[in-house]
Copies of this chain bind each other. A is one copy, B any other.
Amino acid sequence: MAKEITPRSDDYSQWYLDIVRKAGLADNSPVRGCMVIKPNGFGIWERMRDALDAMFKETGHVNAYFPLFIPKSFLSKEAAHVEGFAKECAVVTHYRLKNDPDGGGVIVDPEAKLEEELIVRPTSETIIWNTYRDWIQSYRDLPLLINQWANVVRWEMRTRPFLRTAEFLWQEGHTAHASADEAMSETRLILDLYARFAEEWMAMPVIKGVKTPNERFAGAEDTFCIEALMQDGKALQAGTSHFLGQNFARAFDVFFLNKDNQQELVWATSWGVSTRLVGGLIMTHSDDDGLVVPPKLAPVQVVIVPIPKPSPELDEAAAKIAADLRAKNIRVKIDNDDQNRPGFKFAEYEMIGVPVRLGLGQRDLAANQVEVARRDTKEKANVPLDGLADHIAALLDDIQQSLFDRAKAYRDAHITKADTWAELEDILENKGGFAYAHWDGTTETELEIKEKTKATIRCIPLDWPEETGKCILTGKSSERRVLFARAY
């Protein structure tokens, strides 16, 4: 199995595609740019979704569902939004097919043309704020803290499974507030929540920051983000939280009566993470033998493999171990396949990233022990059956923490201060990762640096020490350093 994976050192991009395919995460589909998310991949996304959903609910959010389709005219209502978004969309123009009179299957019925075309949502600010106009009358209706889990479509020309697909799954939060302060607090609350999720569940360290005006979401007044670093030194934007000001309220006439009985425009936020996170997970932890999944997100955390194959005695012992582990809420699979050899199975479970493998043979059983192998480090140890469940629970915690520590050490080692143009180029070209450099604050300079280096300003990190200096390109005075990187 594993030998079919291209090593990362040969071709990181092909390694990624090999992992996606060999670990059963996703498949291409006959529809350009759309992927099929296979059970192994969807199992990871489901756990991400459940964890995030619980965090949203703990912070007072509720779920709702808005239409898949957006009337074309809605997109034009917020000027900046339409500039940033409206172009590459799936457009529904007809609502009926009919039998081809020439016998060639079905054709679009020309008589069933829509009066106004519908756009498959690329994001839902417009239709949601059009709805909020009816839901919000007074300050007593605020805040409105709503999230939806949905599919969205952006017609991408160059796609990559999970990282960039025409259709993807995501959550989009859309909140409404009575003041700018409250909306900004919400924006930051969600940013912190995303960072906590990335680090505690995905074991993926992230930098919280704010985007430059050039990188803002179309229609936002401020875009905050979490940025992660992949193993090849490229950055990945893993989630965004937008302070939308009153832009969408203005575009859709959403006013509220404040405590002083005066009409005011409502303040807004929106925020989202997507199935892109699965791509980030793969590229943060996996190795040349396959997928590595942090235990908290692994659909199966422990697999028990009878050695050399299932037998009544081994099955009974495996069932007992599984019951003990399940009593501690550990997700266990017993491999009762009697065709393949242990070596084949071991490679397969390494490929799909099961965090812990228990090898259970007759001699182990006689010695009242089991062989425990961890996926991340490949270490093996014989562990007594007495107290095994506690041992495994602790081991899963340890793996979760080790993965984070390892990713963080790599990430920290790849944040490099650049004080000259040559240093910046060297970092981006040879070392990879983030270059932390001064910038004069203009979009013009930002674009010129991007043109010259293919690197973008990933973010201005929050709460990092302030430091003035000179712009790495223009030499003009700079208020702070920012993080440059090439990115997915």
> Taking beta carbons and an 8 Å cutoff, which residues of A are in contact with B?
27, 29-31, 34-39, 42-43, 46, 62-76, 82, 86-98, 105-106, 108, 117-120, 127, 130-131, 134, 140, 146, 150-151, 153, 155, 167, 169, 339
Contact = CB atoms under 8 A, between A and B. Distances in A.
Given A30-B71, A42-B63, A71-B31, A94 B97 contact: no
Nearest to A85: B97
Contacts of A43: 62-63
A167 B108 contact: no
Contact of A106 (B68, B72, B98, B106): B72
Contacts of A34: 67-69
16 contacts: A27-B131, A30-B71, A31-B67, A35-B67, A36-B64, A37-B65, A39-B63, A43-B63, A67-B167, A68-B153, A69-B167, A82-B106, A87-B97, A90-B92, A92-B120, A93-B93
B63 A46 contact: yes
Total copies of the chain: 2
A31 B106 contact: no
B66 A36 contact: yes
B31 A105 contact: no
Nearest to A169: B65
Given A27-B131, A31-B118, A91 B108 contact: yes
A95 B91 contact: yes
A155 B68 CA distance: 13
Contacts of A131: 27, 29, 36
A27 B153 contact: no
A101 to B, nearest CB: 14
B117 A108 contact: yes
A92 B140 CA distance: 41
A42 B223 CA distance: 29
Contacts of A117: 108
A97 B90 contact: no
Given A30-B130, A46-B63, A167-B68, A155 B96 contact: yes
B94 A93 contact: yes
A127 B39 contact: no
B65 A36 contact: yes
Of the listed residues A31, A82, A87, the one surrounded by the most CB atoms of chain B closer than 10 A to its CB is A31
Contacts of A87: 96-98
